Amino acid sequence: MANVNTTSPPPITFGNPRNGFLTIGEEDDKKVLRKSEIQMSSGSASELRLFKDGGWELKSSDNDKGSYIIQKGNGALNILSEGDINIECKGTFGVKANDIILETTNCDDGDIVCNAKHNFKVNALNYAIISSTDVTIDAKNKLISFSENMNYIIGRFINFHESMSQIIPPTHARNVKKLTDTLDTNNSYRQFDLKDQNLKKEFEEERKRKNQEAIESIGPTFG
């Protein structure tokens, strides 16, 4: 039986000393962890690499004019990924379109999260609408509701709760605490927790006092 040569053929390179090269064939540099099978590079060192594992890399060199992906006509420019898509930039990330739609597809835990290190601002020239089963606005310091015209608060039931007040029923305080438990993880509601406990203690003492007064008003009983 004839011997079969299982070694990879040597790479083939087409190049120009000034303008770049095209290499077809697996990289043989042992220091390279992710080996390419096709590599195309320009004289400015921008390059395209097609990896043996199926991935690819498109990389520019340092320049001041940027890079472009241009789709002409009415057809869409589609980016599809079965995994994650990560976009990171050191400058400003801008998105401009006639309409912008963000939609999650996981009905169990599909969330949209915006984390701003400084300010978060939304401007709408017409309507700004937030629609949900429950809506919570959580302010760590001040909450200002301002309107240059009318300001409406509408609801079937409207409750105002001031945690430092002495006249808040304990049941209402506990209900408010339950609604706000998920808002904070830094114990900023510790004072509220203590207030709730004090209200409960005062409620129990008041109940015992009234029961004792009721017993004393009846007078002694005889067996």
> How many C-beta atoms surround the C-beta of residue 36 within 10 A?
22
8 A C-beta contact, residue 168 and residue 199: yes
What is the amino acid identity at position 131?
Answer: S
In whole angstroms, give the CA distance from residue 19 to residue 38. Answer: 17
Q: Kindly give the confidence (pLDDT) of every residue in the chain, 223 residues in length, as a single tens digit, with 9 standing for 90 and above.
A: 455 455 678 889 999 989 999 999 998 888 999 999 999 999 999 999 999 999 999 999 999 999 999 999 999 999 999 999 999 999 999 999 999 999 999 888 888 888 888 999 999 999 999 998 888 888 888 889 999 999 999 998 887 777 666 666 777 777 777 777 766 544 444 444 444 455 556 656 766 776 777 666 665 544 4
Separation of CA 165 from chain center: 36
End-to-end CA separation in angstroms for the chain: 117
Would the CA dihedral through 97, 103, 105, 106 be positive or negative? positive
DSSP 139: -
